[in-house]
A = this chain, B = another copy of it.
Amino acid sequence: MANFQKLTPRSEDYSKWYNELVVKADLAEQSAVRGCMVIKPYGYAIWEKIQAELDRRFKETGHVNAYFPLLIPKSFLSREAEHVEGFAKECAVVTHHRLKNDPNGKGVVVDPDARLEEELIIRPTSETIIWSTYKNWISSYRDLPILCNQWANVMRWEMRTRLFLRTAEFLWQEGHTAHATKEEAIAEAEKMLGVYAEFAEKVMAIPVIKGVKSPNERFAGALDTYCIEAMMQDGKALQAGTSHFLGQNFAKSFDVQFLSKENKYEYVWATSWGVSTRLMGALIMTHSDDNGLVLPPHLAPIQVVIVPIFKKQDDLDKLMAVLAPLADKLKAKGIRVKVDTSDKQTPGFKFADYELKGVPVRIAMGGRDLENGTIEVARRDTLSKETIAFEGVEEHIAALLEEIQQNIYKKALDFRLQNTREVNSYEEFKEEIQKGGFLLCHWDGTPETEEKIKEETKATIRCIPQRDNILFNGENTIFEEGRCMVTGKPSKQRVVFAIAY
């Protein structure tokens, strides 16, 4: 049951607002296990819609699902030098396979006789176990490409966790593909970035910038990491998805070669790409307001809620005589409808609850509406409502859902544009970065300069934007040459700096 103590306003404490909202809207909560969350049914219903939309896109682009083991032999991690460096410090390690009764009679203890010969790691990501498997699947160019995806849980022992944004265990999908040529692998990594960007913008209504990571921010073991970056309402950046061109690194680590058409043995080229339940955090922080969640209609578990306003059963019966057929008409259009005829809560309570839960459209009808042939339609995104003719309201609502989807995307895009600015000197940068948002700056391309900026300002390069992005503010000079704001060395284009989640 919803808790109607008001949310802390975003302006007062954005972080607190987020934490409260996730819990009060019944999306997720902390569990008894440090850093691991429980995803509650309402939150999971949104995640299921995200999964369904992505899974369809993966299959349409020729991918198949498979499943690889949860546990990875410790020695596998070490095979790729950068990879182990990136993940060893935050691994959950399985060392034993049995408990036994405590000799002192208090519950159970680890059985020292059941120590594993080699420790196993709960997968933080699956490149190593998958490439050890691909070795058996690949011998000739005829076996390529392999285009696999897996939906799975993974674990990274983060020290500071936040629901959805950074949890020790999270759910995700990880695509792992194997190719005969470098060009094909790069094309795959870019294609999947495009799939993510289209999904983020069209389904989640989150505008994203497509780009490439600087070397400092690359995935451990990748030659190039492509990413989509989104701006949250506090002006911070959130990485919403990544796609990696892995070169031949993992093929070499696990000795995966294929006989080419030219009858030569060559190492296989690889990509991997993933998005996670972190997207739930991006969704919440992009659209929601001080009254609660705002959900894009494409992902809302309930798109329309119908609330009859009644005192007596007789009133309800009369209202339902027209509202039940309306619900059926909406369902026939593929709209997800809930009719709330409960008499346990007041209409005011219900309205606040559906607002908190982000239901895009709320329809209410009372006795007077019935007499007048009217109905009240409220939209969650603008919090506006209007009383309109009941006749044909189903058409109006279907169109309204699309309008809301577009509107929240536009609102988020406008916000990003307003908070993205070009900065040309490091002095200005240090001041501007305090205000949040994306800063478009020239950078000399060196890790040293990036590191210095990060140390001094906490800002990182979110990405080196690609050319096919939606234009930034006003006249777009991002792809003009210039000079690094720190060192004055030449720069080919501006990059996006921000403080990131």
Contacts and interface: CB of A to CB of B under 8 A. Distances in A.
Interface of A: 1, 29, 31-33, 36-41, 44-45, 47-48, 64-78, 84, 88-101, 107-108, 110, 119-122, 129, 132-133, 136, 142-143, 148, 152-153, 155, 157, 169, 171, 344
A36 B69 contact: yes
Given A67-B38, A108-B78, A32 B93 contact: no
Contacts of A41: 64-66, 148
Contacts of A39: 66-67
A59 to B, nearest CB: 10
Nearest to A39: B67
A71 B92 contact: yes
Contacts of A96: 92-93, 95
A69 B108 contact: no
16 contacts: A1-B143, A31-B69, A33-B71, A33-B72, A33-B120, A41-B66, A44-B67, A67-B171, A69-B169, A74-B107, A78-B107, A89-B100, A93-B95, A93-B99, A142-B344, A152-B153
Contacts of A47: 67
A100 B95 CA distance: 15
Contacts of A94: 92-95, 122
B93 A65 contact: no
Contacts of A155: 70
Given A44-B66, A108-B78, A73 B33 contact: yes
Contacts of A48: 65
Given A29-B136, A41-B148, A64-B45, A91 B98 contact: yes
B92 A110 contact: no
A380 B1 CA distance: 53
Nearest to A135: B32
Most buried by B among A44, A92, A93: A93
B92 A66 contact: no
B110 A119 contact: yes
Contacts of A98: 88-91, 93, 157
B44 A65 contact: yes
Copies in the complex: 2
A119 B33 CA distance: 11
B36 A70 contact: yes
Contacts of A99: 74, 77, 84, 88-89, 91, 93, 121
A47 to B, nearest CB: 8
A98 B66 CA distance: 28
B92 A65 contact: no
A6 B300 CA distance: 51
A48 B157 CA distance: 30
Contact of A110 (B40, B93, B122): B93
Nearest to A79: B107
Contacts of A37: 69
A73 B77 CA distance: 26
Nearest to A117: B34
Nearest to A28: B67
Given A99-B89, A100-B88, A157-B97, A169 B129 contact: no
A171 B120 CA distance: 19
B110 A75 contact: no
Given A1-B143, A38-B68, 20 more contacts: A29-B133, A32-B69, A37-B69, A44-B67, A48-B65, A67-B171, A74-B99, A74-B108, A75-B107, A77-B99, A84-B99, A84-B108, A89-B98, A89-B99, A90-B97, A91-B99, A92-B96, A93-B97, A94-B122, A122-B122
Contacts of A89: 98-100
A31 B110 contact: no
B90 A32 contact: no
A162 to B, nearest CB: 16
A71 B36 contact: yes
A38 B152 CA distance: 13
A133 B66 contact: no
A76 B108 CA distance: 10
A475 B69 CA distance: 49
A1 to B, nearest CB: 7
Contacts of A148: 41
A92 B120 contact: yes
A421 B31 CA distance: 51
Given A67-B44, A68-B38, A148-B41, A32 B97 contact: no
Nearest to A301: B64
Given A44-B64, A90-B98, A1 B142 contact: yes
Contacts of A97: 90-93, 157
A88 B69 contact: no
A36 B73 CA distance: 12
